[in-house]
Chains A and B, each alone.
Chain A
């Protein structure tokens, strides 16, 4: 028995040793920690210039999807897991404000949540691609759309908010009541776009899907090389676009605010902003940033997007979601 305990202790200390490497890097003064959602995949080496200029190393840590990330950050407000937070969007901004999560924040990118259409499907059928939300309840478009559960999915929530913005507090329920039974609700973006939608990698049966204004260029850039695309197989219906804005902010409680400010400046600067379209598939907010060709040609940024203010979203989110559920269930 004694030797067994020696063995166990040895195993435990071995585990402890392997772990200590991560501790060493952490509290060096010349490091700034950027807390981001899992899907944050910046261009490789994009922070090298920042490190060269300032001597500060950027450590990117990820912690769940944007919802998980912000919920955790709110629970740990004042004692943050990083210095700078990437990824609060306009649907969560008010919640972050109420928790005094950030000492300062600024918009860092925008993207549109819009209905995407399978161009091939519509070309081979005799109906045109719909152009307005109202079209979706017409008999010929019934049963063609797949969207996401707005409770679980952020594009789903964006689309619901878009319909609220478009039809107004008085009429959005009537729209969804008319749509009920003629729309498929998927649990998340992945299932909707890759299983249910007919226009991408899945073999689904729905030619309309709620996705992003930047999904078409991604289809081209990451097409199968044996079947390269000169233009996307999908198109975006501009009038359905809901504007999503993401913010970058300095977390309250950071002991590293000088470096944090420098990093925020860099994230808003031309170089980083220009890298975002093809690495994160979002639009820059910096006016000087030049868009890549692929984005100019195929990505859509609505001229007159649907919007709801962060305050209204925070105030009504739960009520709207419950009402939506009551209608669709």
Chain B
């Protein structure tokens, strides 16, 4: 029991060291009550707060409209191309926001709220799919079949059988999507147009462009309070339905189950919406003012990147190493946390609350603030970590941790305790039980959380750009460097790297 308790400190300690401490230090240095009063009585700041809120709420709704049917179809049915669709829907999550945003902009041709919502849907369908799908896949379809046999309408079946079982996963996905959209930076600043400001873009403006770090920190604290409130509201209740779930094979579509057209539409529509900006990226990698040319592809595959001194391979290897380290670190910590939270013993309720709260924090602290916090906190020996390369995957793991936990936790909860008890009764050691029952049943969820943690690392841009780096340029950073320079070949090479990222991710995620 003590070993387990010590273990539970690992995720909390990790977040404390790399997030809580730097954030508190920043707040302590810059926060003041009078400043908060000024900010809260400034009408333009209140407008920013209001806009951040409603665009995030609309983004969550829009994401759910496309994501829930797709999740249902992909976790319940089996058909040719299902894996590819899953991969496509997950891919945007790893892409730098500049690529997705430029894709959306190239098609919509206009900045504004519609483009913001579209880009947020493109990014976040993956979040819902990855969190809700493992839970949905564990729900035994026999319950639904029985309900249908007993005369329940599809709607009744959904509200009485399916919804209670997926509710907590949907809630946690929705809260996560809200957090991402509420604190979104790249999407808003590119497709929102200059009149659309959110708290996160304003934090950046105030701290970086205007040098008003105090105003920025006040905004960061406000932002944190809002997201924490949302997490509080969406917190799963301790009394969950824990009916026994047995993983069951998805229904093959070629057996022509009822309503197979609905299944197809549920997948195809979100895939089109998500894939269009990706296709725009591929097109731009081979076209220049009407000419089709593969020179950028041959240049990039030849190993050189126009105007940059670093080689293609080096950039790719760096990114892969970072994402591997991120996945190992994030998923190990997430597994510990999820197993702690998954055991519903009431005398641990308080500890679970703390664990849940602390591990949610990476979602609520703004990237700019965290970046600045680390720079000003870990600046003296023996803790002069701020310019160290290992900090990059560590920070990526920090950002991936809450997502990985949200993928693993419902799956951990869905493991029937009777299986463990049975194993113990038959003489299995705790370690054996854990390996043979927990890990075996968690395999799909573990793979998904590895995939998404690696993806987060590949695509992370916000905090990384605040860290001081040496010879550790990632693919994402390189793409933005290439797109940030004139010259057709340079631009196209940026899109080639982005396309490469797309192809790689579709490949990886359609397997996991």
Q: Which residues of A contact B (CB under 8 A)?
A: 1-5, 7-8, 11-12, 15-16, 18-19, 22-23, 26, 35, 38-39, 41-44, 59-65, 67-68, 71-72, 74-76, 79, 81-82, 95, 149, 151-152, 185-191, 193-195, 200-201, 203, 211-212, 215, 218-219, 221-227, 279, 281, 317-318, 321, 328-329
Q: Are B376 and A75 touching (Cβ within 8 A)? A: yes
**A–B complex contacts, Cβ < 8 Å, 7 sampled:** A19-B390, A43-B309, A67-B208, A75-B375, A152-B204, A211-B486, A226-B295
Bound Cα distance A201, B491 (Å):
7
User: Which of A95, A200, A222, A281 is most buried by chain B, counting CB atoms within 10 A of its CB?
Assistant: A222
B486's contact among A12, A72, A191, A218, by CB below 8 Å, is which? A218
State how many angstroms separate the Cβ of A99 from the closest Cβ of chain B. Answer: 9
Q: Are A95 and B211 touching (Cβ within 8 A)? A: yes
Q: Which residues of A contact B386 (CB under 8 A)?
A: 81
Q: In this complex, what residue of B is CB-closest to A156?
A: B194
In the assembled complex, B468 has its CB within 8 A of some CB on chain A: yes
A19's contact among B192, B380, B389, B470, by CB below 8 Å, is which? B389
Q: Are A1 and B102 touching (Cβ within 8 A)? A: no
The proximity string for B residues 185-220 relative to A, scoring 1 for CB distances below 8 Å and 0 otherwise, is 000011011110000010011011111010000000
Q: In this complex, what residue of B is CB-closest to A225?
A: B295
The proximity string for B residues 89-102 relative to A, scoring 1 for CB distances below 8 Å and 0 otherwise, is 00000000010001
Q: Are B189 and A152 touching (Cβ within 8 A)? A: yes
State how many angstroms separate the Cβ of B491 from the closest Cβ of chain A. Answer: 4
In the assembled complex, B172 has its CB within 8 A of some CB on chain A: no
A15's contact among B10, B325, B483, by CB below 8 Å, is which? B325
A42's contact among B309, B336, B376, by CB below 8 Å, is which? B309
B289's contact among A63, A185, A203, by CB below 8 Å, is which? A203
Q: Given contacts A152-B189, A185-B193, A200-B488, is CB(A18)–CB(B469) below 8 Å?
A: no
State how many angstroms separate the Cβ of A96 from the closest Cβ of chain B. Answer: 10
A152's contact among B205, B390, B481, by CB below 8 Å, is which? B205
User: Which of B195, B208, B486 is most buried by chain A, counting CB atoms within 10 A of its CB?
Assistant: B486
A38's contact among B376, B388, B477, B489, by CB below 8 Å, is which? B477
Contact size range, B: 35 or more
State how many angstroms separate the Cβ of B35 from the closest Cβ of chain A. Answer: 15
Bound Cα distance A40, B291 (Å):
31
In the assembled complex, B328 has its CB within 8 A of some CB on chain A: yes
Q: Are B486 and A219 touching (Cβ within 8 A)? A: yes
Q: Which residues of A contact B190 (CB under 8 A)?
A: 187-188, 191
Q: Which residues of B contact A (CB under 8 A)?
A: 3-4, 6-7, 10, 98, 102, 105-106, 189-190, 192-195, 201, 204-205, 207-211, 213, 284, 288-289, 291, 293, 295-296, 306-309, 325, 328-329, 332, 336, 371-372, 375-376, 379-380, 386-390, 393-394, 430-431, 434, 465-470, 477, 480-481, 483-492
Q: Which residues of A contact B295 (CB under 8 A)?
A: 224-226
List 18 extra interface pairs beyond A22-B470, A82-B468, CB under 8 A: A1-B7, A2-B431, A5-B6, A22-B390, A75-B372, A79-B379, A81-B468, A186-B194, A189-B484, A195-B106, A200-B491, A218-B485, A219-B488, A222-B487, A223-B489, A224-B293, A224-B488, A328-B195
State how many angstroms separate the Cβ of A253 from the closest Cβ of chain B. Answer: 11
Q: Are A223 and B102 touching (Cβ within 8 A)? A: no
Bound Cα distance A317, B468 (Å):
27
Q: Given contacts A152-B209, A195-B106, is CB(A329)–CB(B487) below 8 Å?
A: no
State how many angstroms separate the Cβ of B201 from the closest Cβ of chain A. Answer: 8
A151's contact among B194, B288, B394, by CB below 8 Å, is which? B194
Bound Cα distance A8, B117 (Å):
40
Q: Are A62 and B291 touching (Cβ within 8 A)? A: no
Q: Are B469 and A63 touching (Cβ within 8 A)? A: yes
Q: Which residues of B contact A59 (CB under 8 A)?
A: 470
Bound Cα distance A64, B462 (Å):
10
Q: Which residues of B contact A11 (CB under 8 A)?
A: 328-329, 332
Bound Cα distance A190, B379 (Å):
33
Q: Are B492 and A152 touching (Cβ within 8 A)? A: no
Q: Given contacts A1-B430, A15-B329, is CB(A227)–CB(B291) below 8 Å?
A: yes
Q: Are A75 and B329 touching (Cβ within 8 A)? A: no
Bound Cα distance A42, B307 (Å):
9
User: Which of A1, A19, A201 is most buried by chain B, counting CB atoms within 10 A of its CB?
Assistant: A201
Q: Are B465 and A8 touching (Cβ within 8 A)? A: no
Q: Are A22 and B193 touching (Cβ within 8 A)? A: no
Q: Are A201 and B106 touching (Cβ within 8 A)? A: no
State how many angstroms separate the Cβ of A42 from the closest Cβ of chain B. Answer: 7
Bound Cα distance A5, B376 (Å):
32
Q: Which residues of A contact B394 (CB under 8 A)?
A: 15
Q: Which residues of B contact A193 (CB under 8 A)?
A: 486
User: Which of B102, B194, B210 is most buried by chain A, counting CB atoms within 10 A of its CB?
Assistant: B194
Q: Which residues of A contact B328 (CB under 8 A)?
A: 11, 15
Bound Cα distance A204, B201 (Å):
25
Q: Which residues of B contact A1 (CB under 8 A)?
A: 3-4, 7, 430-431, 434
State how many angstroms separate the Cβ of A290 from the closest Cβ of chain B. Answer: 21
Q: Given contacts A152-B209, A201-B284, A227-B288, is CB(A218)–CB(B389) below 8 Å?
A: no
State how many angstroms separate the Cβ of B377 from the closest Cβ of chain A. Answer: 11
Bound Cα distance A74, B469 (Å):
18
State how many angstroms separate the Cβ of B18 from the closest Cβ of chain A. Answer: 13
Q: Are A194 and B483 touching (Cβ within 8 A)? A: yes
Q: Given contacts A41-B309, A201-B289, is CB(A151)–CB(B209) below 8 Å?
A: yes
State how many angstroms separate the Cβ of A188 from the closest Cβ of chain B. Answer: 7
Q: Are A61 and B387 touching (Cβ within 8 A)? A: yes
Bound Cα distance A3, B211 (Å):
49
Q: Which residues of B contact A95 (CB under 8 A)?
A: 211
Q: In this complex, what residue of B is CB-closest to A157?
A: B209
Q: Are B393 and A64 touching (Cβ within 8 A)? A: no
Bound Cα distance A227, B307 (Å):
18
Q: Which residues of B contact A5 (CB under 8 A)?
A: 3, 6-7
Q: In this complex, what residue of A is CB-closest to B210?
A: A318
Q: Are B484 and A195 touching (Cβ within 8 A)? A: no
Q: Which 9 A-B pairs have the closest CB atoms?
A: A222-B487, A19-B390, A63-B468, A201-B491, A149-B194, A218-B486, A61-B470, A226-B293, A224-B488
State how many angstroms separate the Cβ of B59 from the closest Cβ of chain A. Answer: 18
Q: Given contacts A151-B205, A190-B484, is CB(A222)–CB(B288) below 8 Å?
A: no
A224's contact among B213, B296, B376, B431, by CB below 8 Å, is which? B296
Q: Are A187 and B189 touching (Cβ within 8 A)? A: yes
Q: Which residues of A contact B336 (CB under 8 A)?
A: 4, 8
B488's contact among A201, A203, A211, by CB below 8 Å, is which? A201
Q: Given contacts A1-B3, A193-B486, is CB(A63)–CB(B466) below 8 Å?
A: yes
Bound Cα distance A226, B467 (Å):
38
State how many angstroms separate the Cβ of A195 from the closest Cβ of chain B. Answer: 6
Q: Which residues of A contact B489 (CB under 8 A)?
A: 222-225
State how many angstroms separate the Cβ of B332 from the closest Cβ of chain A. Answer: 6
Q: Are B389 and A190 touching (Cβ within 8 A)? A: no
Q: Are A44 and B309 touching (Cβ within 8 A)? A: yes
Q: Which residues of A contact B192 (CB under 8 A)?
A: 187
Q: Given contacts A71-B211, A201-B491, A223-B487, is CB(A15)–CB(B393) below 8 Å?
A: yes
State how many angstroms separate the Cβ of A10 from the closest Cβ of chain B. Answer: 10
